[in-house]
Structure 1
Amino acid sequence: MMLVVSALSLSVSMLFGQDVMVARQATLMGSVFDITVIDSDSVQANKHIDQVIAEVSRIENLISEWQPHTQISRVNQQAGIRPVMVDREVFDLTKRAITYSEQSAGAFDISVAGLDHIWRFDGSMDELPSAEVVKRSVAHVGYQHIVLDSAACSIYLSKKGMKIGFGSIGKGYAADKGRALLKTLGVKGGIVNASGDLATWGKPPHERYWKIGLNHPFRAHKMMCILKLSEEAVATSGSYEKYAEIADVRYAHIINPKTGYPSTGLTSVSIYGPSAEIANALSTSIMVLGKKKGKALLKAFPDYNYIFVTDTGRVSKSRKH
């Protein structure tokens, strides 16, 4: 069985001996999630999928910056005013995000969400923001201004106008949490795929591995490689699906937090290893850092491998491939 990461669209139930494989789609966190489980029967499998959907919805209702009632929205609403108490889970996720910022020398930064209002990648953008607008907006970006108080379990954005968001690691975190839940429930194997950021465990019937196909960003309907995974995770960041095209120039949706402008140099970064959250953070960081500095960053993460595609179409893979 081979699953194409960027275009998985399973909605099936298949019987294999005493086990059944059930797959279902759901729209969560503004993206399509594909959840596949190997279970004892279809009723139980669908019950377990329901539990994953509930878990991801729970996470979304904590960390979405687009829904006004969430804890992260309240943090953003109180930027420059006061700290906001949050659940320990939200606090810890924010703390890890700051660690990713430190490890990547600021290439990863959840406060880059403060630039959402000047860059739009929904097809409505027809001119570049002015240099002055970008400069003013970047002044509100900086993970160093996210103040955490562990005793109070609070988050404070010390600059008015700041905003944080988990678009860069939220889906990877949800995939990890979904997998952890299903393993706790005794599900033998499966995939929690959050629009290409996915976590696997176990194996499909009559196979040794889950086979995950990665599409080539420059060659439609062509895969550049097939990953064979058991209990692993994959995350891909790229400039080829969400972008703005202005005056025949393509501007990617991944923004460099230091400049306020879209990243260049790499068209696609796929990272695979134990955690979808960490793979997500690394793929985002490396899109900003570029190939050379990205490889240097990965030396601190020996359990993770990479597949890069440059803006000129050159594919570079870690030694495992």
Structure 2
Amino acid sequence: MNDGLLYKAQVRWLFHAHIKIKIPVFCDESLFDELFAVLEDVDKHYNSYSEGSFFDLINKNAGQFVEVDDETISLLRQLIYFSDLFDGEYDITVMPLVRLWGFYKDEEPRLPLKEEIKATKKRVNYKTIEIEGSKVRIAEGQEIITGSFMKSYAVDKLVQKMRKEGITDAIINAGGSTIKTLNNNIHPFWIVNVQNSLKKDDSLFKLEVSNACFSTSAQTKTFVEIGGKKYGHIINPLTGYPSENKQIGIISTNCFVGDIISTGLYNQTLDGFTEKMKLLSTQFDVSGFLMDKNNSIRFSDGFEKYIVQ
């Protein structure tokens, strides 16, 4: 829905994704540089994939304390809280398992042995993250991965900047996995198309989203193929194996929260998803859906009200 309203947009490559910002046409063109600068700052200082970032330094000095800033400490405390909330099914130290399954490797992926999975799981434990004042230490052999939250965290900061600049009507599409809308009385919502991860050019449904974030994860886009079978990148830290679920989508008021929940609940059964969402909705303004390995879809309470088609 735009009722003839005019917008301008720019796309830039950040966080290994195309980030598209669309704002009203009357906004000054130079504003794009200021908006993308917010994302670039987060990418440079906090993305674990960025050379010299705080998380990169923590990883490279595993086993030793590293001096970090207040923002890194705040982020880690929030992430540990969510890991507790998900009983360890969400764990930012899962990277050794991700690498074991052949992601971020040049050689041909192979099926890990049970013994390898068991041994690698011992290095995956968020509870061994130590915070002492302004210093952080992870255990030797551990590695933090920020992919499940950093892009969305940056989008939340971008929205703060937009509101400060007086922008009340905009949409941010961060690689398709995080879509944040800003709305006002003239333009009360945006329509978000939820693609079916199993069929190209097919959509599951369209959502009416107003001043909210839609976070989605799917195993069909990022995977390794071993012996003709595809294994997705979202790995259960407790079992050491990739989830067999197909797709998840979460609507939330906060992108950071929504993105973490979409990862934390990816390993759930349909019934487990329903129960966990009930618990989470007592703390956060969230609703969503899960498509399991059998292509069955389950909606949480309150999600269907967003569906328009």
TM-score between the two structures when normalised by the length of structure 2: 0.90
Matched with 2:274 is 295
Could you say what secondary structure the match of 2:279 adopts? coil
1:100 and 2:118 matched: no
Q: Answer whether contact 1:285 1:294 (CA < 8 A) is retained.
A: no
Could you say what secondary structure the match of 1:111 adopts? coil
Matched with 2:19 is 33
Aligned residues between the structures: 298
1:15-36: CA deviation from partner (whole Å, max 9, x where unpaired):
84xxx41111110011111111
1:256 and 2:236 matched: yes
Q: Where does structure 2 lack aligned partners over 5 or more consecutive residues?
A: 305-309
1:29-77: CA deviation from partner (whole Å, max 9, x where unpaired):
1111111112534xx1x32222221111110111222233111111112
Match for 1:304 among 286, 298, 304? 286
**Deviation of 1:272 (Å):** 0.4
1:111 and 2:93 matched: yes
- 1:162-173 aligned at under 5 Å gives the runs 162-173=142-153
- Cα RMSD, aligned residues only: 2.1
1:242-284: CA deviation from partner (whole Å, max 9, x where unpaired):
11222232211101112221112x2101000101111111110
Q: Answer whether contact 2:121 2:240 (CA < 8 A) is retained.
A: yes
Cα distance change on mapping 1:236 and 1:124 into 2, 3 Å: farther
**Deviation of 1:112 (Å):** 0.5
- 1:235-274 aligned at under 5 Å gives the runs 235-264=215-244, 266-274=245-253
- Aligned residue type for 1:300: L
Q: Answer whether contact 2:274 2:300 (CA < 8 A) is retained.
A: no
**Structure 2: distance between partners of 1:185 and 1:315:** 40
Matched with 1:21 is 7
- Farther off after superposition, 306-315 or 226-235: 306-315
**Deviation of 1:168 (Å):** 0.6
Q: Answer whether contact 2:93 2:125 (CA < 8 A) is retained.
A: yes
Q: Answer whether contact 2:290 2:299 (CA < 8 A) is retained.
A: yes
- Aligned residue type for 1:225: F
Q: Where does structure 1 lack aligned partners over 5 or more consecutive residues?
A: 3-14
- Aligned residue type for 1:210: W
Matched with 1:69 is 52
Instruction: Give aligned-pair identity as a percent.
Output: 23
Could you say what secondary structure the match of 2:99 adopts? coil
Matched with 1:286 is 265
- Farther off after superposition, 70-79 or 275-284: 70-79
**Deviation of 1:206 (Å):** 6.4
1:216-238: CA deviation from partner (whole Å, max 9, x where unpaired):
12232121111111110111111
